[in-house]
Amino acid sequence: MRKYTLLTFLVALCALALVLAGPACTTKGSSSTDDKSKIHVGIVFDIGGKDDRSFNAAAWVGVKCAETGKRPDGTPCENKKPLDIVLRDVEPGTPNAIEPAMRAFAERNYDLIIGVGFAQAPIMEQVAKDYPNIRFAIVDGVSELPNVASLVFKEHEGSFLVGMLAAKTTKSDTLGFIGGMDIPLIHRFETGYEEGAHAVNPNIRIIQNYVGVTDSAWNNPGKGKELALSQIGKGADVIFTAAGNSGLGAFDAVEQAGTTPDGRATHFVIGVDSDQNCVKPGFVLTSMVKRVDNAVYQIVLDVVNGQFSGGIHVYGLDKDGVGYAMDQCNQKLVQPEAIQEAEAAKQKITSGQIKVTDAMAK
Amino acid sequence: MGVRGRVPVKSFSRPLTTKSMKDIFTLTLILSTIHLATPLVLAALGGLYSERSGVINIALEGLMLAGAFTAAAVTHYVGNPWVGLLAAIVAGILLASIHAVACISFKADQVVTGTAINILMIGVPAVLSGAFFLSSGSTPQIPKENLIPWTPVILALLLVVATYYILYYTPFGLRLRAVGENPEAADAAGINVKRIRYTGVLISGALAAIGGAYLSIGQSSLFTRNMTSGRGFIALAALIFGKWRPVQTMLACLLFGFADALSTQMQGVIDIPVQFIQMIPYVLTMVVLAGFIGLSRAPRALGIPYQKER
């Protein structure tokens, strides 16, 4: 009798698991069947997951445009035609799940495997060595293997420009910076931002904070909000976040800080990677966009056209790989004069007149 | 590592001066402590009910995630945070009932079951958010009007008082403690051990879920994957640290919250590497655990399934 009830319980649990797994299966089933003649692209996301509204989301836009010509939210992609590929994605729940996911794609002979995030570089190095005939691409990481394309960005250049815009906007001469995980890549954002702000006004003070030192630092909006509130307490009125999901906490913090009677926000946040201007309209000064979507789309296009090349692909201000986002959500927030100065600086950076320090360069 | 380079040496150095002390010890520090401690207090109180009845509840992390996700998802659909909070409590109770059935009725290993629930809750919100929001583990943002930033804080404080009263001044509290210490004797005295333990575990699900709901519809305005980032385990540590007593447990949570808030405030004010500052809460825990609180004795029957003699 006892055994029987235990069995019933287990069966019930399994049934529950199946019901819960149902939606996942149907979404997978609705995509096209496995057509061997098409180019197969597998993408492995970072721990943040593809709807972090930031870095991973940008990569997701890139591959979705390549697959369907539409962004994940259904709007058409500008300048990106559908490439008729088969797309599969994996969101590893833990860092340990990254390598098996990559190997699974490689075992099934995918044409291109994309890894998103610096943390995947060493893993991809291992996997790519074992599958020399499969093409790989790593976003934010560098590998010297011939079958790996390293897609890197000059985040410091884009951060320099948003630093200028922040410095032109601040009234307290105090700015904030919130990084996610304390890693050299994020220091690149930080130093660029500092230099940009100091280019406008050398006396500006910048308070910089990091959410954490492990990968959970990308997924802790509560801590992000506390950091932002503490910076606001110390006088910061423009806060630049480079912290994935944790950065969204800073958006809540500036909203909580409120508006002046004429409706203008007293404190602003600067978004990162994706265009986050419309996440909290009126409170987002601008976003330091990193066109991971363009880079990822381009590498898929290269594979489709048979023009894939390994090595380092750098996306800077010159190729519009990075920049600041202006749209209907932040038009009224940035002074035209500030934009002029930023545009002038952009010219000087691309022509080499201004050198922005790259915190990752040796 | 694929990322090369080095940490740039900060050009400015700020020694610990009176001015920087003033920068650290502000009103923000107190508010921040309260915000950071609230989810811990709620989850730890939940753990208290379960563990005082003799059932280890390592699943606090998973229960918090369930509460956080349900609260954000329901608030998004209904537009009312109170309904969201209620739904979170229901979700917490439902999930805790799996733990209860497995541990109490089927005498499964309590640590294993709890871990299973934690792992389950890494996946379930991702699947459900895929079905409801076409995302993979996060909910849409909830407008500011629909957030309840202070209610859970007050609730946490009231619950500490209530728990103290229930535990020491009501028949249920006496039974809960008896069942956790010596279930045989309690059974002989006519107490239904199973029922008390079920109640304890289900209450823990409800409270941990409120703690989670605070994260998603109080402090932040959305659910993101694994947004508890270890708070369930810190709550568990606070419970042990507080010797399984409500007031001490709350103080332990406040200490953790304070350490966390302090590390937030100190960053960028004093020129100490961030890794070192973020170590503070954990070092503090070890120091206090090792040196100051003395022996922390668990309920004697903790972790032992009760088999009624036939």
Strand order in the sheet with A112-116: A85-90, A39-44, A112-116, A135-139, A148-153, A311-315
Residue of chain B with shortest Cα separation from A144: B2
With beta carbons less than 8 A apart as the criterion, state whether A114 and A296 touch: yes
Band the pLDDT of B2: cuts 50, 70, 90: very low
pLDDT of the residue at A234: 87
| Interchain CB distance below 8 Å, A216 and B226 | yes
Band the pLDDT of B69: cuts 50, 70, 90: very high
Interface check for B153 against chain A (CB to CB < 8 A): the answer is no
| Interchain CB distance below 8 Å, A220 and B229 | yes
| Phi-psi map region of B299: left, alpha, beta (phi>0 left; psi -120 to 50 alpha) | beta
Helix, strand, or coil (residue B165) = helix
| Interchain CB distance below 8 Å, B131 and A23 | yes
Tell me whether residue B282 is exposed, middle or buried, using C-beta atoms within 10 angstroms of its C-beta: 0 to 12, 13 to 18, 19 or more: middle
Could you say which of B3, B130, B264 has the minimum Cβ distance to residue A183?
A: B3
Chain A residues lying within 8 Å of B137, measured CB to CB: 49, 51, 91
Paired tokens of B256: 């953790």
Interface of B with A in 53-82 (CB under 8 A): none
- pTM of structure: 0.81
Band the pLDDT of B10: cuts 50, 70, 90: very low
Nearest chain A CA: its distance from B5 CA (Å): 4
A194 φ/ψ angles, rounded to the nearest 5 degrees? -60, -45
CB within 8 A of A268, min separation 6: which ones?
A: A166, A169, A237, A238, A239, A254, A283, A284, A285, A333
Interface of B with A in 80-119 (CB under 8 A): 98, 101-102, 105-106
| Interchain CB distance below 8 Å, A142 and B4 | yes
Q: In chain B, what are the domain boundaries?
A: 39-243
Band the pLDDT of A313: cuts 50, 70, 90: very high
Residue of chain A with shortest Cα separation from B125: A20
With beta carbons less than 8 A apart as the criterion, state whether A313 and A150 touch: yes
| Interchain CB distance below 8 Å, A360 and B26 | no
A139 φ/ψ angles, rounded to the nearest 5 degrees? -95, 130
Tell me whether residue B182 is exposed, middle or buried, using C-beta atoms within 10 angstroms of its C-beta: 0 to 12, 13 to 18, 19 or more: middle
Chain A residues lying within 8 Å of B267, measured CB to CB: 208-210, 227
Could you say which of B131, B136, B261 has the minimum Cβ distance to residue A226?
A: B261
| Interchain CB distance below 8 Å, B221 and A252 | yes
With beta carbons less than 8 A apart as the criterion, state whether B100 and B55 touch: yes
Band the pLDDT of A340: cuts 50, 70, 90: very high
Write out pLDDT tens, residues A24-82. Answer: 333 343 344 566 788 999 999 988 788 777 889 889 999 999 999 888 888 888 888 88
Interface check for B143 against chain A (CB to CB < 8 A): the answer is no
Please state the rounded mean pLDDT for residues A229-238: 91
pLDDT of the residue at B62: 96
Write out pLDDT tens, residues B15-58. Answer: 556 666 666 677 888 888 999 999 999 999 999 999 999 999 99
CB within 8 A of A245, min separation 6: which ones?
A: A48, A49, A52, A53, A54, A218, A219, A220, A221, A224, B138, B224, B225, B227
Residue whose entry in the numeric block shows the structure tokens 């900060």:
B10
CB within 8 A of A83, min separation 6: which ones?
A: A39, A66, A67, A300, A301, A304
Nearest by Cα to B240 from B298, B283, B179, B201: B298
pLDDT of the residue at B18: 63
Interface check for B278 against chain A (CB to CB < 8 A): the answer is yes
Q: Is the model's pLDDT at B254 over the cut of 60?
A: yes
Interhelix angle B246-266/A221-233, rounded to 10 degrees, is 60
| Interchain CB distance below 8 Å, A222 and B36 | yes
Residue of chain B with shortest Cα separation from A138: B2
Q: State the Cα–Cα distance between residues A329 and B17, nearest whole angstrom.
A: 42
Please state the rounded mean pLDDT for residues B237-263: 90
Write out pLDDT tens, residues A163-193. Answer: 999 999 999 999 999 999 888 889 999 999 9
Chain B residues lying within 8 Å of A6, measured CB to CB: 106
pLDDT of the residue at A34: 61
Write out pLDDT tens, residues B112-162. Answer: 999 999 999 988 998 898 888 877 778 888 888 888 888 999 999 999 999
Q: Is the model's pLDDT at A16 over the cut of 90?
A: no
The alpha-helical segments, DSSP class H, found in chain A are 2-30, 55-68, 98-107, 121-130, 155-169, 184-200, 221-233, 247-257, 292-304, 336-351
Tell me the one-letter amino acid at B227. Answer: M
Residue whose entry in the numeric block shows the structure tokens 């209530």:
B162
Band the pLDDT of A14: cuts 50, 70, 90: low
Residue of chain A with shortest Cα separation from B35: A226
Residue whose entry in the numeric block shows the structure tokens 């055994």:
A3
pLDDT of the residue at A60: 92
Cβ atoms < 10 Å from Cβ of A243: 35
With beta carbons less than 8 A apart as the criterion, state whether B42 and B154 touch: no
Chain A residues lying within 8 Å of B5, measured CB to CB: 184, 187, 359-362
Nearest chain A CA: its distance from B164 CA (Å): 28
Could you say which of A13, A183, A187 has the minimum Cβ distance to residue B8?
A: A187
Kindly provide the ipTM of the predicted complex, given to two decimals. 0.79
Write out pLDDT tens, residues A257-281. Answer: 888 888 888 999 999 988 889 888 8
Q: Is the model's pLDDT at A109 over the cut of 60?
A: yes
Write out pLDDT tens, residues A242-252. Answer: 998 899 999 99
Tell me the one-letter amino acid at A286. Answer: T
Nearest chain A CA: its distance from B222 CA (Å): 9
| Phi-psi map region of A328: left, alpha, beta (phi>0 left; psi -120 to 50 alpha) | alpha
Please state the rounded mean pLDDT for residues A218-246: 91
pLDDT of the residue at B100: 95
Structural domains of chain A, ranges and CATH numbers in brackets: 36-153+293-315 (3.40.50.2300), 155-290+332-351 (3.40.50.2300)
pLDDT of the residue at A24: 39
Residue of chain B with shortest Cα separation from A224: B220
With beta carbons less than 8 A apart as the criterion, state whether B214 and B73 touch: no
Chain A residues lying within 8 Å of B219, measured CB to CB: 221-222, 225, 249, 252
pLDDT of the residue at A31: 44
Nearest chain B CA: its distance from A1 CA (Å): 12
Paired tokens of A95: 């860092």
Could you say which of B101, B219, B274 has the minimum Cβ distance to residue A213?
A: B274
DSSP A89-121: EE--SSGGGHHHHHHHHHHTT-SEEEEESGGGH
Nearest by Cα to A44 from A100, A125, A111: A100
Residue of chain A with shortest Cα separation from B231: A220
Percent of chain B topping pLDDT 90: 57
Comparing B5 with A14, which gets the higher pLDDT? A14
pLDDT of the residue at A43: 94
Range with the lowest mean pLDDT among A29-38, A316-325, A344-353? Answer: A29-38
Average pLDDT, chain A: 86
Comparing A324 with A258, which gets the higher pLDDT? A324
Could you say which of A27, A138, A359 has the minimum Cβ distance to residue B8?
A: A359
Percent of chain B topping pLDDT 70: 89
Please state the rounded mean pLDDT for residues B263-269: 75
Could you say which of A6, A22, A213 has the minimum Cβ distance to residue B278?
A: A213
- Which neighbouring-strand residues pair with A139? A116, A151
With beta carbons less than 8 A apart as the criterion, state whether B20 and B12 touch: no
Could you say which of A24, A51, A140 has the minimum Cβ distance to residue B138?
A: A51
| Interchain CB distance below 8 Å, B5 and A208 | no
pLDDT of the residue at B284: 77
Q: How many CB pairs under 8 A join A and B?
A: 172
| Interchain CB distance below 8 Å, A362 and B4 | yes
Comparing A79 with A298, which gets the higher pLDDT? A298
CB within 8 A of A241, min separation 6: which ones?
A: A177, A178, A224, A228, A247, A250, A251, A269, A270, A271, A272
pLDDT of the residue at A32: 46
Q: State the Cα–Cα distance between residues A77 and A66, nearest whole angstrom.
A: 9
